[in-house]
Copies of this chain bind each other. A is one copy, B any other.
Amino acid sequence: MKCVKDIGERELIRRIWNQIRAELRFTAIPNTFDDAVAFESRYKYIVMTNDGINEKTDKLPGMSWHDFGWRLGVMCVSDLIAKGAIPLGMLISLNIPKSLEIKAVEMIYEGLIDSAKEYCFELWGGDMGEASEVTIDGFMVGYSTKKPIFRKGMKLGDYVLTTGKYGLTGAAFHYLLKGGIAVSENTMHNIIQAAYKPRVKLRMGVLLANTEGITASIDSSDGLAESLYQLAEINGLGILIHNIPIADEALEYANTNNLDVKELALYGGEEYEVVFSVRPEAIDEVLENMKKNNIEVHIIGKVIERKGVFIQKANKTIPIERRGWEHYSKDF
């Protein structure tokens, strides 16, 4: 198999461009082979985010390079959606060893292109560098016609909501990394695909900024517990949870493996749901608006004064342990 050093940077860039151009439109200027890109701005707000993946820390056992590329696209789209923005396009920083097979690069871009088709963004090019292992950073630019929603803005008394259900990725990580017991084939398929090929709800990007009464928002990619902690911390408030929406497949897996499904749901991570807060007076309209747009959404708790994140159990308020997935932690 040919590897990167056999063809060199220039030829590799040419191949990637050809691959992108065969599949995607490209409306920004210029249309290829430059180190920058521009667009004529007709948008009120420009929203930007970056996120990265690393072969060592993010490529699960059995995960393909295609999934790896797809994941990077989804990670960035998810960040923008949680701000109430719609993606426009993406620049890629591709840091790879020179011994990497060309085929791997092509598959990464296949996955990226698929995510670009699915979530309607353009691939604008990027930069290439050498690294000991595959480290790809994605920079995505999007827009919003209304003022974007950020992590800061949550108020005392707000409802806390989330899209979707939790636990699938937690189950997948347990199965893939700790050798758990498989359940039925269909269930395992849904569990594994949640980790290999996560999906986002693009429609939320339009809804969030355009729905009155939404005060703050974050995606749940760091895990539900950590995302709640981050929301609480940046707003100097607390969150009391009374309900964790659990995916059926996660429950089945947890029962078979004698695990607490709440653990899987709170600390899984790599889930790309939106966690957001809503003014109490706007809650009915927000719920109706989400339903009208076919977005599954659950009220999971309320914003309280006491700092931290807690769960209501019978009449007790129990702190939820903060142990998200943090880079560089001692026992990483």
**A residues whose Cβ falls under 8 Å from a Cβ of B:** 4-10, 12, 29-30, 33-41, 43-54, 56-57, 79-80, 82-83, 85, 91-93, 95, 98, 124, 126-133, 135, 137, 139, 141, 144, 147-148, 150-152, 218-219, 230, 234, 326-330, 332
Q: Which residues of B contact A330 (CB under 8 A)?
A: 5-6, 8
Of all chain B residues, the one with the shortest Cβ separation from A229 is B10
A62 CB to nearest chain B CB (Å): 21
In the complex, the answer to whether A137 meets B95 with C-beta atoms within 8 Å is yes
Consensus secondary structure, chain A interface: mixed
* Sample of 10 A–B contacts (CB below 8 Å): A12-B328, A33-B151, A35-B218, A36-B150, A38-B48, A41-B44, A50-B92, A52-B129, A98-B327, A131-B133
Of all chain B residues, the one with the shortest Cβ separation from A129 is B52
Q: Which residues of B contact A329 (CB under 8 A)?
A: 5, 8-9
Top 4 A-B residue pairs of the complex, sorted by shortest distance between their CB atoms: A93-B137, A139-B139, A36-B49, A30-B150
In the complex, the answer to whether A127 meets B137 with C-beta atoms within 8 Å is yes
Complexed CA–CA distance, A47 and B82 (Å): 24
In the complex, the answer to whether B35 meets A39 with C-beta atoms within 8 Å is no
Q: Which residues of B contact A95 (CB under 8 A)?
A: 52, 54, 95, 131, 135, 137
Q: Which residues of B contact A35 (CB under 8 A)?
A: 49, 51, 79, 218-219
In the complex, the answer to whether B39 meets A45 with C-beta atoms within 8 Å is yes
Complexed CA–CA distance, A148 and B37 (Å): 9
In the complex, the answer to whether B133 meets A34 with C-beta atoms within 8 Å is no
Q: Which residues of B contact A4 (CB under 8 A)?
A: 328
Complexed CA–CA distance, A163 and B175 (Å): 59
Complexed CA–CA distance, A83 and B36 (Å): 8
Q: Which residues of B contact A152 (CB under 8 A)?
A: 30, 33-34
Contact check: which of B45, B52, B83, B93 meets A41 at CB < 8 Å?
Answer: B45
Residue from A139, A326, A330 having most chain B Cβ neighbours under 10 A: A139
Complexed CA–CA distance, A223 and B39 (Å): 28
Q: Which residues of B contact A43 (CB under 8 A)?
A: 41
Contact check: which of B50, B82, B130 meets A54 at CB < 8 Å?
Answer: B130
Contact check: which of B44, B53, B218 meets A40 at CB < 8 Å?
Answer: B44
In the complex, the answer to whether B8 meets A326 with C-beta atoms within 8 Å is yes
Given contacts A8-B329, A37-B47, 11 further A-B contacts (CB under 8 A): A5-B332, A9-B326, A12-B328, A34-B152, A36-B83, A41-B43, A41-B46, A48-B124, A48-B141, A50-B139, A54-B130
